Each structure stands twice: as structure tokens, then as C-alpha cells.
Amino acid sequence: MRVFQRLSVVIHAITTSSGGLLVVLQRPDSVAGLLGVTTQSRVRFFPHLRKQDWTALLRPPTSAWESRAKRLHCEVSALNGHSNRLALVKRWMLPTYDIQFRVLHELMHVNIKRFFLQTGRRDPTTCPRQDCYQRESLAHCFWLCSPTQQTWSALRPIWSPLLRCTPSWLGFLLGTSELLHSSWAAHHKLAYGLWLILRGICMRSTWINRTNDAFGREAASPKAIAAGVKSSFVVHLRSLDRRRHRIKVDTATMYSFIQHLVSGPEDDEPLR
């Protein structure tokens, strides 16, 4: 009975607080204490296990994840800070638009993952968009496809005040801060947050329209997609402006940027 009571405490800690799961994962010795898996009670609970077997029960369950993460960071060193970027987006971004976690961890089901379904008629790995016959990888879906590039070009009046050049696929995927204009040095955190928000909205809009093409629904034109991205971006800016005291953003710079977007500047000069 006591074991079940202790187990309920663990489950309650996991389900009621975000920190509870971290405590359970990072402190397996505390879990062992709660469950009664101690040196004195191992024989009573696990009489059939040898010492090396029951000690394996107390190993941190994150060891496999950590080794996989280290391999991932070795392959793409710039991913070392992606968790911090996602944390910033989680605080600033409206929750509907955060699709970039799945993109970063390759959890999007693009057609290239259907290679095992190939038949003699049609290659199931090709891009579902009209008049596009390239293989649909993550890079192709979210950056290299012609409609996506046209949408990004139509969004130039929005991203040109933030970025000093057109990003590459890797720069877009990782949301690198090196792309920001030097004129934002005094408000680097604000500019970086806006860049990540714009990137997340673009990813979501791209995926929605790609899915509409894949399932035979009417897909929007690149200009219509760009207009929707701009509208969503302005909504995010106004939401940030309402919460400016809590997230500590510069009010004057935020208001200036909103006016810059709403007025629709004809030139692409960076915002000073």
C-alpha cells in the first residue's frame, strides 16, 4: 500500500507541474527513494535481480537522450542553442503558430518519408504542389519550393527591416541571430524575437498550404499567403505591445515597427 502511495506522489508531480518531470528525470535517486527501491528493500521488491541488474534501474533515464543529443549537436553545431530559441518563442509567440519544434526535430511527415511506397506509376516522394516534381524534403517543403520562394519574396518588406540579407535554408531553419541588421544592436532581443516569430508564422502558413495541395483543396497563391503572414505578424506585434510590461520590450521601437508594417513602405531600407 505504501508503494502505491509513493507512486501516486510521483505521478502527481509529473502531471501537475512542468518542473516535476524534470525532477523525476534528473534525480532518479529521489524516484528510487519514493518507490522504496533502496539497498535494503531491493531483495524484497526484486528478489530475482542481481546487483548489476537492479542498479541499472536507478540509472538516469535521460542518458540515451543525452547521447543522441550530443550526436545531433556534433552534426549541426548551431543547434546547441535551439532550446533557448524555442523558450523565447514560447514566451512571445501566440501558441497557435509554434510549428518549428517539429521542424527542428524532423517530425514533419514530408513525402520523402514515403520512399517505401514507391510504385511504377507515380513517385510518392514528389512534392504535392502543382507543377513541381522535386522530391519533398524538409528543405524543399519549407524553403526551396518555387511557391515558398515566391512567398518569401513577397514578404521582403517585412523581413528586410530585420535581416541584412536573404537567409539560407540552414539560417532559416535555425533562426540564427547573425542575420539581423547591425542597426538593431541596441534592441537585439526584440529584433531576434520578431525574427523567430516571423519564421514560425511562415512555417505554419507554408505547411497549411502544402497540406491543402496534398489533399486536393484549393491552395492560396504566394501573394495571398504573404498577406496572411503579414496579418498574423501584425497580430503578434500588437499582442506583444499589450504585454510589453511583462516581457520587457521597448515600447517606442515596437510601435515604430508596427507603423512601419501597417503603412507598407515602398523601399527596403532597414529600420533605424
Q: Concatenated DSSP letters for 212-237?
A: HHHTTPPPPPHHHHHHHHHHHHHHHH
Asked if 28 and 130 sit in the same domain, the reply is no
User: What pLDDT, on a 0 to 100 scale, did the predictor assign at position 94?
Assistant: 63
> How buried is 234 (Cβ within 10 angstroms: 0-12 exposed, 13-18 middle, 19+ buried)?
middle
- Number of folded domains in the chain? 2
Output the CA angle 163-84-188, nearest 5 degrees: 35
Whole domain around residue 166: which residue ranges? 78-263
Which among 17, 36, 61 is the end of a domain?
Answer: 61
Q: Residue written as cell 496534398?
A: 214
Which among 30, 61, 92 is the end of a domain?
Answer: 61
Asked if 40 and 90 sit in the same domain, the reply is no
> How buried is 271 (Cβ within 10 angstroms: 0-12 exposed, 13-18 middle, 19+ buried)?
middle
Asked if 245 and 117 sit in the same domain, the reply is yes
Asked if 132 and 51 sit in the same domain, the reply is no
Report d(CA 30, CA 106) in Å as an integer: 33
Which among 61, 91, 111 is the end of a domain?
Answer: 61
Task: For residue 48, give Cα distances in angstroms to 45, 56, 93, 240.
Answer: 9, 14, 52, 59
> Are 186 and 115 contacting, i.e. CB atoms less than 8 angstroms apart?
no
User: What pLDDT, on a 0 to 100 scale, did the predictor assign at position 151?
Assistant: 94
Cα-Cα-Cα-Cα torsion 114, 119, 124, 128, nearest 10 degrees, comes to -170
Task: For residue 21, give Cα distances in angstroms to 61, 98, 184, 197.
Answer: 12, 22, 38, 28
Low-confidence ranges of the chain (pLDDT < 70): 1-98, 100-101, 105-107, 112-123, 244-251, 254-255, 258, 260-272
Q: How many CA atoms lie within 13 A of 82 on its CB side?
A: 20
Asked if 182 and 48 sit in the same domain, the reply is no
Asked if 36 and 107 sit in the same domain, the reply is no
Asked if 45 and 95 sit in the same domain, the reply is no
> Are 177 and 164 contacting, i.e. CB atoms less than 8 angstroms apart?
no
Asked if 247 and 195 sit in the same domain, the reply is yes
Asked if 97 and 54 sit in the same domain, the reply is no
The answer to whether residue 107 sits within a structural domain is yes
User: What pLDDT, on a 0 to 100 scale, did the predictor assign at position 107?
Assistant: 67
Asked if 187 and 235 sit in the same domain, the reply is yes
User: What pLDDT, on a 0 to 100 scale, did the predictor assign at position 35?
Assistant: 39
Cell of 260: 512601419
User: What pLDDT, on a 0 to 100 scale, did the predictor assign at position 143?
Assistant: 93
The answer to whether residue 268 sits within a structural domain is no
Structural element, H or E, at residue 51: helix 51-57
